[in-house]
Amino acid sequence: MAPSRPPTALAGAMLTGRESLARLIGRRRRSPLPAPLAAALLSPSHSTPHQADDAGAGEAAAAGPSSSGGGAGAERVACPVCGEFIPGSDYCVNTHLDICLSRGAKRKLTQSSLLDFRFSKKTTAEPTPDILNNSDEAENKGLTDGDVSTDRELSSMNGVTGSPKDSGTTSLTGCLHGSPGISKTLNTCIPSNAGLPIIKNAENDDAVEKASSCLLSAGTTSVSIDACPDADSSTTVAVDTVIVGRRFRESFELQEGMGITVVRDPQNAKDPDAVKVLYAGSDCGQMLGYLPRELAKVLAPLLDTHFMECEGFVAGLPEQQLDNVPIQLTCQKCENDNQNYEDLRYQQSLWENFLGVVRNGNFQQPSGARYQANFNTMLLDVMTNHTHLFSDTETSFLGSFKSLSNDGQRLLVKIYTRKGPWFRLSSISYCEISDVEHAAMELKLAGYIDMFSGTDVPFEHDMKEILNVLSVPEMKEILKELPKDNTNCTRRHELLSTLLSMHNNGTCTVLPKRIFKWTGTCIRVSNMADELLWLVQRLFFLNGDQDLSSFLLVDLGLVKFPDYTCSVVHRIFQERNDLLQYEEAIRVAQFMDESLDNDNMELVSRCTDLSENRLCTSLKEEDSSLADSPPSFYSCFSSTWIYSKILTLGVSVYERERRYADAIRTLKILLSKVASGRRRGYWTLRLSIDLEHMGRPNESLSIAEGGVTDPWIRAGSKIALQKRALRLGKPPRRWKVPSYADSLKRNIKEVNIEGRPLNCEIGAKNVFYGYDGDRCGVEQLALQYYADEGGGWQGTHSEGGIWMTIFGLLMWDVIFSEVCDVFHSKFQTAPLDFETDDFYKSRKDLIEAQLKRIQDGMAEEMLISSWELHQGTSCKGVNWDRHPMADVRAVVAGVGGHRLALLLRHLALDYRSWSSGMPDLLLWHFLDERGGAEAKLVEVKGPKDKLSEQQRAWIFVLMDFGFDVEVCKVSLVSKRR
């Protein structure tokens, strides 16, 4: 049984904004906080004076940079305006000067002018020999263990910055490749064996050529293309590949040189593009296995259209019976004079796509090398499309990955993808690495890993992690060998605590040698490599949840992502500093989340204070109406966005501790700094409530009335503010009744039923005896009522799930249509603008055309077609397992085209605001044998439960659309009965 969390920590998990912040962080970083950030958050002298909330957001943050400790480790310089000593990094100086100048303060006579002011002293990194064993050794000196000097320590993520010659290009004022709004579009070719979609990226040709040549490894393909030099005009192609999936086949004696043939297997449940390999000399077609998935994907359409013939032979025998069998296929294009022009053109495009995949792919790779190839794909993509975010030194360091041996590359990828952070070298068994120790030494010399030799412990702060490598019996044996008897410790945490305390207080100097006796050499990814590889992974996936395992899930066929085209015009991160500030904000968010886990409210307050200061000193939002400005939905990749999430959670913490003055100050800062935030409704509502708590009803009323007219406040938040305005605005405070008063008083149809409860605990989920005598929840009880006494309805407890599934299926082509800047990698389940207003604006014509077809009665036909084409493919909101096809069809038929079109348009206009709060039950029944049906939506409420404002908003909308909607209230069985 898992240990229970402390009550306060459990309450922290239920704080508003906690789950959203956790999703934003994704997989937590394992490396320690950067020194400047650690000083800002952990320094005992950290103190942030709060100004009165009426003073305005600018004055509230005036002392932010100087008091946050964010410049620890950097040279401190005197401000020419106020004379205060501040960290000498570009970021600190710029933000501090903005505040000073906005006050209208004059320069002191004894200080230098702005022109004479030495803003930042650029320090140089001392060279460290024998770091990287490649041609760029001179540029890579000083990269190990994070000993890289930085010109902007506050923004740096662990000292990962450029060399002195790069300092001019990494500031806030420029990019390596000019402005982001480049009119020319470049078709970037990504290796097809990775399955990446077509990427159109507005980068210059030199950057792409440089990055590609830096990262492409030699000897990754074994393909021969015959005929003329122009590969696209060839008619015969020889492909070296393997037979996979043999473990599921009957044993068959293979012989080198035996003939084989291939045939399609369209009924394969795992892969509709599957291609079987058969023994050509068998009359019954003895099956040997399958072709690799990547090759079958481009070969299957050609075989289906009879545009190609394939035959081959076994090129070699595997060492183990069930290993992949190397083969060679000869693929020949078939000519057919009877086909029309369109068919020939389509087949020729398939053929050219096949040639491109064959030319760039390697279909002989064993399973272990697949990780290496996937890592190379990710690295190449990032260095091709995001070169401007890395300094020359970092580019050289990442580029040195290609100079590593295959053993070195595979070992690095293996240890980077494991949990760690420390591993026993002896426990890393990798059959495709000939010499693990030699590969580890190569990575050590290149600066990619740290090694623990056992003679001493160079990483004192990692002693706890090194001890975690040991098993419980091994820790017991170590204690037996030490002078002090601690054999009474039996549990892992007790043994770990005892050994760690003995090391920390210095009572056992021989402990490292004892550890090494049992562990042997330990290794981990170095801080320098970990920071850079983490940035590469973040830039490729654009979130913290996905990693290299996403490639593996696709390779195994466990996850299938949609097909779409990536057309990238604007960069997400315009400058290097934007990325560094974004990553720093992510680290603060993670630290706050960890502090809540540990119930350390002091550190939670420090994270909130630091975020408040950063948000107050951030640059103003750019005007998104300009032609060359990046799209507005890129705002979620800014530090401002992250800090707003942290402060939203901080407000919830303040309110739980009844620190309403702090909550009011923070909410005012959020509303003044984040003009188009998706949480403006929540912020405004909480501000109005907290002001009332402070005994300021007039100001609370003004805030509520302003929120009602705010265009960014919608759905339930708007109704909640309207109700507050009506309640607080009674005479004599307000005499005029608002126009929306009547709409809030509309009657909602109610049905009352009784249930026999099993539990009466406050705060616990209600459990009842169902109509069948079994235990059930309140929703299942209501379903049983409607199936029996309530009218013979069929139904499901879906809340909004089934509607999101219907929306995804009917709008599939719209969601994954080609729109600029919304798709950046092949691992997306929705466009980046999916939950923003831009989704409808960019696809208005497509959406309205689709809605017109639905309104005309074609919804069921569209639903069946979409289900058959895309079943099993990941799409945001679509749940293939929970909602079967029969239920979805019944709902579509019962709702009708007109009402369904209205509902789907409502979701398309504002998916985020309306993706929650829908009624619990969706009911339907068929009227006659001809297929007529009707549907009903029911919100179920148990004893003492009330409708939330979001649920009330949905009910009003559904009533306006003509839906049959009602509230089912479940009460306890009366004492008389």
pLDDT in tens, 535-567: 999 999 998 888 888 887 887 777 899 999 999
Buried residues in 151-184 as b, exposed as e (16+ CB within 10 A): bbbbbbbbbbbbbeebbebbbbebbbeeebebee
Whether residues 859 and 924 fall in one domain: yes
- 728 assigned to some structural domain: yes
Query: How high is the mean pLDDT of the chain?
Result: 77
Question: What angle (nearest 5°) sits at the alpha carbon of residue 848, between those of residues 845 and 852?
Answer: 135
- Indicate the residue among 745, 765, 783 that finishes a domain: 745
Task: Look at residue 670 in the predicted model and tell me its pLDDT.
Answer: 93
Per-residue pLDDT tens over the stretch 26-60: 888 877 788 888 888 887 544 444 544 444 433 33
What proportion of the chain, given as a percentage, has pLDDT over 70? 72
- As a three-state string, the secondary structure of 433-455 is CCCHHHHHHHHHHHCCEEEECCC
Task: Look at residue 419 in the predicted model and tell me its pLDDT.
Answer: 75
Per-residue pLDDT tens over the stretch 634-664: 999 999 999 999 999 999 999 999 999 999 9
**Residue 800 scores a pLDDT above 50:** yes
Reading the block at residue 10, the tokens are 């459990």
Q: Phi and psi (nearest 5°) for 44?
A: -60, -25
- 211 assigned to some structural domain: no
Task: Look at residue 146 in the predicted model and tell me its pLDDT.
Answer: 38
- 606 assigned to some structural domain: yes
Per-residue pLDDT tens over the stretch 484-539: 655 577 788 888 888 888 877 777 777 777 888 888 888 888 888 988 999 999 99
Task: Look at residue 64 in the predicted model and tell me its pLDDT.
Answer: 35
Reading the block at residue 842, the tokens are 């960019």
**Residue 464 scores a pLDDT above 60:** yes
In this prediction, residues 939-960 reach a mean pLDDT of 92
**Residue 975 scores a pLDDT above 70:** no
pTM of the complete model beyond 0.75: no
905 - beta bridge partners? Answer: none
In this prediction, residues 797-820 reach a mean pLDDT of 93
Whether residues 647 and 786 fall in one domain: no
Domain count, the chain: 5
- 196 assigned to some structural domain: no
**Residue 691 scores a pLDDT above 60:** yes
**Residue 317 scores a pLDDT above 70:** yes
Whether residues 776 and 912 fall in one domain: yes
Task: Look at residue 280 in the predicted model and tell me its pLDDT.
Answer: 84
- 823 assigned to some structural domain: yes
**Residue 171 scores a pLDDT above 70:** no
Residue pair 463/457 in contact by the 8 Å Cβ criterion: yes
Work out the pLDDT band at 77, boundaries 50, 70, 90.
low
Whether residues 315 and 413 fall in one domain: no
- Check whether the bond before 272 is cis (ω within 30° of 0): no
Whether residues 795 and 723 fall in one domain: no
Whether residues 607 and 500 fall in one domain: no
**Residue 344 scores a pLDDT above 70:** yes
User: The domain containing residue 493 runs over which residues?
Assistant: 370-556
Per-residue pLDDT tens over the stretch 580-628: 999 999 999 999 999 999 889 999 999 999 999 999 887 544 444 455 6
Whether residues 824 and 680 fall in one domain: no
Task: Look at residue 748 in the predicted model and tell me its pLDDT.
Answer: 92
Whether residues 545 and 648 fall in one domain: no
| Least confident residue range of 73-82, 239-248, 700-709 | 73-82
Task: Look at residue 370 in the predicted model and tell me its pLDDT.
Answer: 76
In this prediction, residues 115-124 reach a mean pLDDT of 39
CATH of the domain at 647: 1.25.40.10
**Residue 817 scores a pLDDT above 70:** yes
Task: Look at residue 182 in the predicted model and tell me its pLDDT.
Answer: 32
- What are the angstrom distances between the C-alpha of 366 and each of 431, 674, 884? 11, 50, 38
CATH of the domain at 351: 3.30.70.2330
Task: Look at residue 42 in the predicted model and tell me its pLDDT.
Answer: 82
Quote the CA–CA distance of 60 and 69 in Å, as a whole number: 17
**Residue 155 scores a pLDDT above 70:** no
Query: What are the residues whose beta carbons fall under 8 Å from the beta carbon of 921, sequence distance 6 or more?
Result: 779, 782, 783, 786, 795, 796, 797, 798, 937, 938, 939, 940, 968
The strand pair at 965-972 and 750-757 is best described as parallel
Task: Look at residue 605 in the predicted model and tell me its pLDDT.
Answer: 92
Quote the CA–CA distance of 190 and 731 in Å, as a whole number: 68
Work out the pLDDT band at 906, boundaries 50, 70, 90.
very high
| Least confident residue range of 140-154, 234-248, 424-438, 867-881 | 140-154
Task: Look at residue 482 in the predicted model and tell me its pLDDT.
Answer: 74
Whether residues 694 and 762 fall in one domain: no
Task: Look at residue 594 in the predicted model and tell me its pLDDT.
Answer: 92
Sheet with 186-188: list strands edge to edge.
Answer: 186-188, 199-201, 566-568
Task: Look at residue 309 in the predicted model and tell me its pLDDT.
Answer: 86
Whether residues 791 and 733 fall in one domain: no
- Indicate the residue among 324, 359, 394 that finishes a domain: 359
Whether residues 873 and 804 fall in one domain: yes
Query: What are the residues whose beta carbons fall under 8 Å from the beta carbon of 384, sequence distance 6 or more?
Result: 188, 190, 201, 203, 207, 208, 211, 212
152 - beta bridge partners? Answer: none
Whether residues 288 and 433 fall in one domain: no
In this prediction, residues 204-218 reach a mean pLDDT of 42
In this prediction, residues 720-732 reach a mean pLDDT of 91
- Indicate the residue among 508, 532, 556 that finishes a domain: 556
- 567 assigned to some structural domain: no
Q: Which comes out higher in pLDDT, residue 124 or 342?
A: 342
In this prediction, residues 164-182 reach a mean pLDDT of 34
- 675 assigned to some structural domain: yes
In this prediction, residues 52-74 reach a mean pLDDT of 37
Task: Look at residue 639 in the predicted model and tell me its pLDDT.
Answer: 92
In this prediction, residues 401-414 reach a mean pLDDT of 88
Task: Look at residue 109 in the predicted model and tell me its pLDDT.
Answer: 39
What proportion of the chain, given as a percentage, has pLDDT over 90? 33
- 365 assigned to some structural domain: no
